[in-house]
Structure 1
């Protein structure tokens, strides 16, 4: 094996197509991808949705979100598995080099934010249980993640998460049972939410769906993982690894658990904060709750650090022509996460994620439009393609609407991206494919 090939394998083919011989067994890929399921953020989102719209409306919205995510992920899985392309390489073919840089920047920034978000939860749990200056816990949490992230992630991540997933399921089940004894389970479905019915501009279930559109970074992440899928396993991955089984676990089960825990343990809470979810876990379980939080964050932060480091590698290579080894980039990500933990990151985190969400829904809309029309994937290397302009404009409109308080801003961005790209995709679909075009759909 050549040195360059060994380097690509060690870096999980961050800059090139994944060859057939590097594809992962189905269960290894499933366990690696499912590290996303145990994020505290999903419990928080569920609790937040119920707080805003009421339990019944939030649960309906979660069901719709499961169906929507499953439908969107299915063609993306086939694209990635058949082509071996990651999200940056797909973006380069569709949007030009600028699109490849932008999607890498968005994924790097978002996953760094989530690493800060989730890492801070662990530090806060340690701080509440054992005391000591929380800044030391920040440092301990970050340093503890570094050894896990050295080398190619798929060589160990599937095994790690295969062990930790059952622990997460058992621990969460125990927390729910103990919380039920502490609260009033019979009144769970009757919680109306804090926003009066007359003050709502949209149905509660639709508000929940729009809330979950803000985390469509799951879609480019699907492409980044599904490129390791064997072509014979595509149907399985479309159903289990990235399909309705995955969506039901990550959104419906976790969301419902978050709603239940907060309402049972903190019935007077009117604002769902992540600390509220943590308190709802630590309260019934004590030290076991702290350990459960540690388990969940080892799982999710492996993915956060992986995505952040991989996309920072792409940016360094594309912008300054520097090929930095994965261990060096991981250390850099750790340092950045620690510095952000020391700031009041939560004061601007939610707004930043809302802004970035408009970019992710636009990216998904344009990619799916391209796939639905079976347009060719052109490999011509140009700085900017027309699709890039459509993408940026649709996101900019969404950001402006967010700043004006318009609740359905992500839906507008999605619609503008699809409508704006449709004539471009039709023109590409009618044009004869050049010799160097790769058909990946």
Structure 2
């Protein structure tokens, strides 16, 4: 008698067959997947956060921190994208492995809510641009934005995202370049964008150098790692290397982080009265370029929001089907997600972006660190595939849940340092995300070694 720790014989044979067959014919071509994914690069948040970091810590420190982020993001996503492509593994399917079948629902709803939140945030910027240009009420323009975006994902990501984002890519890229040139011609070149250093040493800088604080700040959007897994699962295995380097690797983050940050910094220091905030930069572009500025804003935000809407609806559906056993058409989930987005747009969500970013960053950072550790430690040891049925998984996998809880407690505790003592705020903001990731990885690695029966999250089956 033997104990099969990877599931029943039928499950193993089925998933092995799935791996051998590849099913690449049903997957997106590498060009289509790249165009769909590059829509994420156009978030105005990336334009804003680069400028905000430069003002807070100095331009040189900000650029160093961004360069480190590009390297780390590219390296981690090269690993996760390869795994997702090879195993057809989405965040929902993978979370069953590290958290258990019931535990995975936690990751699903967090992912869904974060994607919806970003859809609200980015959509609010388009509504703000419309209101700034044409007047009217925010509720009306918010409705226009939601009604205009929702049809882009009806019918599935494969049908629309690559086409829409391929068309809008030149408008996004050359539109931002045009904004920089236009601002420089109209207001003159301001060398302060590259030489700026903060006049006052802010309390949170005490936690370390400015480049470290910038790097930690960008860890707040490790949600992109989860985005990567869901998108990479749509790719062909023969295109794995292309996606590791170009689609999900460092080249993408050079565009998303470095290019956007430089644009944001230049515009903030060049256009008079422009604040380092998303609404401030959006307003500055619309004021500068008029109708062309509105087109640039619509193009950039429509690109990123196709991803937010798609992932929000997809993970909301996965959560609803798993927890509440709701079986509805995909259209119903898309409309439900869009309704939630619109109702939240009526609230002052933009004001709370940094607070929300910090809190969700703790949960996401811990999940990503656990996922990366699992993939690296399990390499060559017969990884599971997404084809295994839910009932083959434990309800809760103690390895992942313990690591996630421990890391989350540490991360939230570091965030609260500033609340308890403002002089410690720098330590919490600079080191909190790093300690969260490190503790999650170390605890999970330790449990991997000491509790091997929970490595896959599958229920052991007694068989011949």
Calculate the TM-score normalised by the size of structure 1. 0.90
Question: Which of 286, 295, 298 pairs up with 2:299?
Answer: 295
**Structure 2: stretches of 5+ with no match in the other structure:** 1-17, 419-427
Per the alignment, residue 228 of structure 1 pairs with: 234
Per the alignment, residue 271 of structure 2 pairs with: 265
**Contact preservation (8 Å) 2:42, 2:300:** yes
Question: Which secondary structure does the structure 2 equivalent of 1:200 belong to?
Answer: helix
Per the alignment, residue 213 of structure 1 pairs with: 219
In 2, the alpha carbon distance for the partners of 1:184 and 1:170 equals: 19
Q: 1:38, CA displacement in angstroms?
A: 0.8
**Structure 1: stretches of 5+ with no match in the other structure:** 1-15
Q: 1:222, CA displacement in angstroms?
A: 0.5
**Contact preservation (8 Å) 2:33, 2:235:** yes
Alignment pair present for 1:158 and 2:171: no
**Contact preservation (8 Å) 2:153, 2:161:** no
Question: How many corresponding residue pairs?
Answer: 420
Per the alignment, residue 383 of structure 1 pairs with: 395
In 1, the alpha carbon distance for the partners of 2:33 and 2:155 equals: 16
Question: Which of 440, 445, 450 pairs up with 1:417?
Answer: 440
**Contact preservation (8 Å) 1:46, 1:256:** yes
Alignment pair present for 1:338 and 2:347: no
Per the alignment, residue 196 of structure 2 pairs with: 191
Q: 1:46, CA displacement in angstroms?
A: 0.7
Alignment pair present for 1:404 and 2:417: yes
Alignment pair present for 1:348 and 2:352: yes
Per the alignment, residue 323 of structure 1 pairs with: 327
Question: Which secondary structure does the structure 1 equivalent of 2:348 belong to?
Answer: coil
Question: Which secondary structure does the structure 1 equivalent of 2:191 belong to?
Answer: helix
Decide whether aligned partners of structure 1 residues 430 and 320 sit closer, same or farther in structure 2, where only a CA change above 3 A counts: closer
Decide whether aligned partners of structure 1 residues 326 and 435 sit closer, same or farther in structure 2, where only a CA change above 3 A counts: closer
Alignment pair present for 1:50 and 2:54: yes
Q: 1:185, CA displacement in angstroms?
A: 3.2
In 1, the alpha carbon distance for the partners of 2:321 and 2:203 equals: 53
Decide whether aligned partners of structure 1 residues 27 and 432 sit closer, same or farther in structure 2, where only a CA change above 3 A counts: closer
More deviation, 134-143/370-379: 370-379
Q: 1:76, CA displacement in angstroms?
A: 0.4
Question: Which of 346, 367, 374 pairs up with 1:370?
Answer: 374
**Contact preservation (8 Å) 1:51, 1:194:** no
**Contact preservation (8 Å) 1:183, 1:265:** no
Decide whether aligned partners of structure 1 residues 361 and 347 sit closer, same or farther in structure 2, where only a CA change above 3 A counts: same
In 2, the alpha carbon distance for the partners of 1:207 and 1:290 equals: 33
Q: 1:190, CA displacement in angstroms?
A: 1.1
Decide whether aligned partners of structure 1 residues 389 and 177 sit closer, same or farther in structure 2, where only a CA change above 3 A counts: same
Q: 1:19, CA displacement in angstroms?
A: 4.2
Alignment of 1:92-103 (within 5 A): 92-103=96-107
In 1, the alpha carbon distance for the partners of 2:194 and 2:457 equals: 58
Alignment pair present for 1:79 and 2:91: no
